[in-house]
Amino acid sequence: MPWSSAIFGLGLLVGTVATALAARWQIKRSLAKVRVAERRARSAERLAEIGAMTAGLAHEIKNPLSTIGLNAQLLAEGMEEIPVDRAVDAPSKQRLIRRIGSLRREAERLKGILSDFLSYAGELRLDSAPQDVNQVVEELVDFFSPQAQQQGVRLHSKLEASTLLASVDAPHLKQALLNLMLNAVQAMKTSRDEAGKPLESERPKELIIRTERHIEKLAGQPPDQSVRIHVIDTGPGIPPLVLERLFTPYFTTKAGGTGLGLATTRRIIEAHHGRIEAYSQPGVGTEFTITLPQHAPAAKEDSPRPRAP
């Protein structure tokens, strides 16, 4: 009996120590998780503060830039009215006017960069409602047609015959599509030779906006119905390495571009719970496909049947 009691007591002691060690390890692990969560929370809070400060700074810079641009314009107009005399000869006057023009253009460029930044980094508030995507696209095509025609690009639409309902914020969706259309037209701009004369191209410059209803059948699940918008151009195409980084903020291959247009477009589409994909073949053209969830109208409640007498 004494031996069995001793063994029982030893086992109880070992069990107690093991339990205490396990509890201590669990407490240390929990404390470590709490510290990690606190660090992440502080980091997120710090990032939010930096974001707010950056947006505020951009606003503060944008306001005086507008004043600088306006005064540069007034100064240029005033210089034009100054008569040429012994104090200011004609070459000096034109040189001053050119410098003022450069100042004004740079101010406008910086203002545009800040506007793009605020559009991308600012809070995106959607006022979504069921809309016929065909109508949204048609309105945008009517608006953009004169600008495309001026650049020698033929713009036409191929819309789904039936109504395509999606829950969208029409102004934001138009902004996203307009970014794609502007990029397409710029890609198809007429090339020029060393003398500045337009080079004739055998390929037609076309920009096509097409809409369709897409039904994706998944095994064991009801069909997934969505609305698709295709923006297709016959431009020079996009090299694969550039295509991979196309939606990366501040990535651009255009001189003077901010690299935020396509990033903003993707942000708008994803805010609509949709997605955007790009396909391109150098020498053939590029296609952007926007997929949006289809809006399903609420089923009408059946009216109660009259009771039999």
Which among 188, 182, 205, 179 has a CA at the least distance from the CA of 264?
A: 179
Q: How far apart are CA 232 and CA 285, in angstroms?
A: 7
Positive or negative, the Cα torsion across 255, 256, 260, 265? Answer: negative
CATH for the stretch 129-293: 3.30.565.10
Q: How far apart are CA 163 and CA 134, in angstroms?
A: 7
- Residue 251: the pLDDT is 78
Q: Which pLDDT tens digits describe the chain residue by residue (309 residues)?
A: 455 565 555 566 666 766 767 777 777 777 777 777 767 766 666 655 555 666 666 666 777 777 777 877 877 777 777 776 655 677 777 888 888 888 888 787 777 777 777 766 666 788 899 999 999 999 999 999 999 999 899 999 999 999 999 999 999 999 999 999 999 998 887 544 444 444 455 678 999 999 999 887 767 777 778 999 999 999 888 888 888 888 888 777 776 667 778 888 999 999 999 999 999 988 889 999 999 999 876 554 444 445 444
Q: How far is CA 65 from CA 61, 109, 211, in A?
A: 6, 10, 41
CB half-sphere exposure, 73, CA atoms < 13 A: 9
- Residue 60: the pLDDT is 67
- Residue 196: the pLDDT is 47
Q: How far apart are CA 284 and CA 233, in angstroms?
A: 9
Q: How far apart are CA 55 and CA 50, in angstroms?
A: 9
- Residue 231: the pLDDT is 96
- Residue 92: the pLDDT is 76
Judged by DSSP in three states, 7 sits in: helix
- Residue 88: the pLDDT is 61
Q: How far apart are CA 159 and CA 155, in angstroms?
A: 13
C-beta separation of 231 from 180 below 8 A: yes
Query: What is the number of other CB atoms lying within 10 angstroms of the CB of residue 246?
Result: 20
Write out the DSSP string of 218-285. -TTS--EEEEEEEEEE-SS---HHHHHTTTSTT---STT--S-HHHHHHHHHHHTT-EEEEEEETTTE
Which among 134, 132, 72 has a CA at the least distance from the CA of 103?
A: 72
User: Based on C-alpha coordinates, what's the Rg of the chain?
Assistant: 31
- Residue 131: the pLDDT is 92
Judged by DSSP in three states, 148 sits in: helix
pTM above 0.85, yes or no: no
- Segment 170-226, tens digit of pLDDT: 999 999 999 999 999 988 875 444 444 444 556 789 999 999 998 877 677 777 789
Judged by DSSP in three states, 304 sits in: coil
Q: How far apart are CA 280 and CA 284, in angstroms?
A: 8
Q: Give the start-to-end residue ranges of the domains of the chain.
A: 1-123, 129-293
Structure tokens at 294: 């289809």
Q: How far apart are CA 21 and CA 97, in angstroms?
A: 82
- Segment 135-166, tens digit of pLDDT: 999 999 999 999 999 989 999 999 999 999 99
